[in-house]
Structure 1
Amino acid sequence: MPKPIRVFVKAVDTFNLWVGRVAMQLLFVMAAVLLWSTLSRLLFNEPVNWALEMSQFLLSAYYLLGGAYSLQKGAHVRMDLFYGRLAPRQRAITDAITILCVIFFLGVLLYGGLSATNYAIQYNQKNYTAWSPPLWPIKVVMTFGVFLMLLQTISTFFKDLAEARGTPIA
């Protein structure tokens, strides 16, 4: 593979590894939010109206920012009816072909995410709840997560292509 592709793969993999490890910590933040909600309701008799929504936002950020990391580590679910019987080179060819569908899907998803994020920013979109938080921060995070996933699928495509050619990218 040409050097620019190898540099791209290494840069994307390194960045998504870092983002994935940071995203893992969001579970602790979410647990703290839910714990605060419980303690304030039980101990102080002061329920908070923002905790459920905030935990939903944190969980969304967690799985969308962690998606690229999961793909990188091979942790996504895979239909293994025939795939497990294939040789490593045949798996790489199959992956290189099928990941093109994922790249197309993520491209469409990114386009929609950019549109929704732009709308949320432009019109200061808020959620229809008692807390009524602005939605643009989570939409930015969600769109960024889809973008990272798209970059990771392109990186994975290049790695699969190199493996299929018999020159794996380390």
Structure 2
Amino acid sequence: MPKIIHSYVRYVDALNKRVGTFAMYLVFMMMGILLFASISRTVFNVPYTWAVEMTQFTMAAYYMLGGGFSLYMGAHVRMDVLYGCWSPKKRATMDLVTVFCLIFYLVVLLAGGISSTAYSLEYGQRNYSAWAPPVAPIKIIMVIGIFLMLLQSIATFFKDLAKVRGVELS
């Protein structure tokens, strides 16, 4: 494989590893928000309307930013009816075929996300709730997460291609 592909794979793997590690800590942020909301509601009888919605936004950031990392780690769910019985080379061959479906899906999702984010920024779109926060920040985070997963899918394609050729690319 050319040196530029090695560099691309290393860079994208490192980027998704860092972003995914950051995203893992968002679980603690969600727990903190929910704990704060629970204590304020039960002990002080002061409910906060923003707590549940902020937790939902944090959860969306958690799974969108963690998508590329889970692809890097090989943690996505696969149908293991036949896949588990195959050799690593045959698995890589099948992954080469199916990764194009994933890349197509992510490109369409990214285009829709960019369009939706532009709309949110242009019109100041807000969520329909009592708190009514702007939705552009979470949409921007979602577009970043989709883009990182697209980059990781391409890196995975190169890794599988190298594996089919009998070379290890990491």
Q: TM-score range by the shorter chain?
A: over 0.9
Within 1, Cα distance between the matches of 2:89 and 2:105? Answer: 25
Residue type at the aligned position of 1:89: K
**2:87 match:** 87
Q: Verify: 1:165 aligned to 2:156, yes or no.
A: no
Where does structure 1 lack aligned partners over 5 or more consecutive residues? Answer: none
Task: Determine helix, strand or coil for the equivalent of 2:77.
Answer: coil
Q: Verify: 1:22 aligned to 2:28, yes or no.
A: no
Task: Determine helix, strand or coil for the equivalent of 2:34.
Answer: helix
- Offset of residue 83 of structure 1: 1.1
**1:65 match:** 65
Q: Which deviates more from structure 2 when the two are superposed, residues 21-30 or residues 78-87? A: 78-87
Task: Determine helix, strand or coil for the equivalent of 1:167.
Answer: coil
Within 1, Cα distance between the matches of 2:125 and 2:156? Answer: 35
**1:135 match:** 135
1:50-61 correspondence to structure 2 within 5 Å: 50-61=50-61
**1:119 match:** 119
Within 1, Cα distance between the matches of 2:3 and 2:121? Answer: 39
Within 2, Cα distance between the matches of 1:43 and 1:167? Answer: 61
Within 1, Cα distance between the matches of 2:59 and 2:98? Answer: 28
Residue type at the aligned position of 1:164: V
Residue type at the aligned position of 1:27: V
- Offset of residue 42 of structure 1: 1.1
Within 2, Cα distance between the matches of 1:35 and 1:14? Answer: 33
**1:2 match:** 2
**1:102 match:** 102
- Offset of residue 23 of structure 1: 0.2
Within 1, Cα distance between the matches of 2:88 and 2:27? Answer: 35
For the aligned residue pairs, the C-alpha RMSD in angstroms reads 0.6
Within 2, Cα distance between the matches of 1:68 and 1:21? Answer: 11
- Offset of residue 43 of structure 1: 1.4
- TM-score normalised by structure 2 residue count: 0.98
Within 2, Cα distance between the matches of 1:89 and 1:95? Answer: 10
- TM-score normalised by structure 1 residue count: 0.98
Residue type at the aligned position of 1:35: L
Within 2, Cα distance between the matches of 1:39 and 1:167? Answer: 55
Q: Percent identity?
A: 54
